[in-house]
Chains A and B, each alone.
Chain A
Amino acid sequence: EDQVTQSPEALRLQEGESSSLNCSYTVSGLRGLFWYRQDPGKGPEFLFTLYSAGEEKEKERLKATLTKKESFLHITAPKPEDSATYLCAVQNSGGSNYKLTFGKGTLLTVNP
């Protein structure tokens, strides 16, 4: 069974204070690892897909990296508008089902 564990559960940062969120995963075969951002009362917003160990992707203040066992979402000089829950999900390469298995998320709060 695919499993995704995110840490920490919650993170408070001061504006400009860089940090990283962790996503550890167990999957029999990885098709892709996805990062989403979710604001309260809204659906998840797609950020990145990573496919193989060593891959990195960047978008503004966010950078996602991937190893064979975990992924990190690095946030550089965050701003209050980066406050949200960040969700990690894996997609198994087995079968034709493209379903995602999500972690519980990391609630990020950036104080001005």
Chain B
Amino acid sequence: GAVVSQHPSWVICKSGTSVKIECRSLDFQATTMFWYRQFPKQSLMLMATSNEGSKATYEQGVEKDKFLINHASLTLSTLTVTSAHPEDSSFYICSAQGTHTDTQYFGPGTRLTVL
């Protein structure tokens, strides 16, 4: 149980384009989903927290207009990187948390490379 998927697993795009990453909880309902980014050999940095049907809460320093988060259902959240630039290249990981639990289950991650 507690399986989280992400799609795509990797993506390469040109500078200035937008990229959408999907995060799905496959066998449970996720009332809260989190988006992290991870640079090589560094730990996970929380970008934002989203609750189903509500606006996402962004961490300090994260541009909400650049990283658009939608949590439209209890099993799906999306992260759209708008007007991507090479400095946005990173490993993006989502996690999902169900009701009556405090444990976050992580997806496999999405490797974004912006050329």
Contact = CB atoms under 8 A, between A and B. Distances in A.
A53 interface: no
A73 B104 CA distance: 19
Contacts of A34: 103-104
Interface stretch (B43-51, B67-75, B77-85): B43-51
A32 B49 contact: no
A81 B9 CA distance: 23
B46 A46 contact: no
Contacts, number: 52
**By CB atoms of chain B within 10 A, which of A43, A44, A45, A97 has the most?**
A43
A104 B42 contact: yes
Interface residues of A, number: 21
B: contact size bracket? 20 to 34
Contacts of B102: 31-32, 49, 91, 98
A44 B107 CA distance: 8
A87 B104 CA distance: 13
Contacts of B91: 41
A72 interface: no
Contacts of B106: 36, 43-46
A42 B109 contact: yes
A102 interface: yes
Interface of A: 31-32, 34, 36, 41-46, 49, 87, 91, 97-100, 102-105
22 contacts: A31-B102, A34-B103, A34-B104, A41-B111, A43-B4, A43-B6, A43-B93, A43-B108, A44-B93, A45-B106, A46-B106, A49-B102, A49-B103, A97-B49, A97-B57, A98-B32, A98-B49, A98-B104, A100-B46, A100-B104, A103-B43, A104-B43
Interface of B: 2, 4, 6, 32, 34, 42-44, 46, 49, 57, 91, 93, 95, 97, 102-109, 111
